[in-house]
Amino acid sequence: MLAILQVTFPFFALVLCGYLAARWRFLPIEAIGGLNGFVLYFALPAMLYRFGADTPIARLFDPAVFIVWLPGALLMVGLTLAFSLNARIRWNDAAFGALVAAFPNTGFMGVPLLVALLGAAAAGPAIATILIDMVITTSVCVALSRLDGAGQQGAAQAARRALRSMAVNPLPWAILLGGLSSALDLRPVAPLMATVALLADAASPVALFTIGAVLARSQALGAASEQASMPARDYVPVALAKLLLHPVLVLALGSAAIALGLPLERFALVVLVLAAALPSASNVALLAERFEADTGRIARIILLTTAAAFFTFSAAVSWLT
């Protein structure tokens, strides 16, 4: 367990540093957008491209991974909606709560952390989950968020809007470009590849620091917009579902799929379960803010899962490896 904590502690410590820097105003709130932009448009695409280019194409786009991960994500969305919808939490807030329960922080945190723990082979399955969650899970939840009086037409428009947002997001394109480089065994010229490597090396520390800063900003914005204190039942069950139910669900689906003859490697299943055990994706707070959902609730879920995952994720690693 000590060996695992030696790997996981620095990752979560950097998130805490970013949170405290923004909370105590060492980092101006106005600067967080710039940090997020650097990670999203430069550093993280470079890292995902490099991992994709260095991963065999069959592992990067393994159909078995898609067959296991996607039903797990959609089941998490459905289950979270079922116990979240009530007189106070309607479709908009419930849908983004479901997204934050089903979408782990695989891009900013998971890929570098899983590679550090399990080796470079973990990159392929982890990157595949990013594609599924960014393109399908997010689009489904955004469409569901429009059901509050919008009807089917409003949901369809929201889904198209989400897909357009994904089309200009550099992360899926970086993954696809990396996969193309892997399939064709082509790499950029040495000076360009060295530039990509520098950006990729910066991705992990800056992304982790930015997660903390974004959480602090989302928490502050959510608190400022709240009219009354939020009951724990509105966000604690979703956080528990993310950290406990999601990995158990993926493990059950993957084990059943293997028993039925699906050619899913045990190693890939371990990667998927650990990806599901990650805290919620911090970018969901930005998406919820854009669609005028309850950002305070979403920020609480993300913050709680990020803090608790230091213990729950480390325990999952100890159990599975």
Cβ pair 215, 281 in contact under 8 A: no
Residue written as token pair 């194409």: 57
pLDDT of 169 reads 78
Q: Going from the N-terminus, what domains does the chain have, and what CATH number goes with each?
A: 2-320 (1.20.1530.20)
Give the 3-state secondary structure of 192-231: HHHHHHHHHHHHHHHHHHHHHHHHHHHHHHHHHHCCCCCC
- What's the Cα-to-Cα distance from 48 to each of 100, 115, 125, 200, rounded to whole Å? 22, 12, 12, 8
pLDDT of 165 reads 64
pLDDT of 139 reads 84
Residue written as token pair 């296991």: 68
Q: For each of the chain's 321 residues, which pLDDT tens digit applies?
A: 777 888 899 999 999 999 999 999 999 988 888 888 898 889 999 999 999 888 888 888 899 999 999 999 999 999 999 999 888 888 889 999 999 999 999 988 999 999 999 999 999 999 999 999 988 898 888 888 877 755 555 556 666 666 666 667 788 889 899 989 988 888 888 899 999 999 999 988 999 999 889 888 877 776 666 555 678 888 899 999 999 999 999 999 999 999 999 999 999 999 999 999 999 998 888 788 777 788 888 888 999 999 999 999 999 999 998
How far is the C-alpha of 184 from the C-alpha of 19, rounded, in Å? 41
CA quadruple 128, 129, 132, 134: dihedral positive or negative?
Answer: negative
pLDDT of 254 reads 96
AA letter at 300: R
Neighbours of 59 (CB within 10 A): 19
How far is the C-alpha of 105 from the C-alpha of 85, rounded, in Å? 24
How far is the C-alpha of 201 from the C-alpha of 187, rounded, in Å? 18
pTM, whole model, 2 decimals? Answer: 0.88
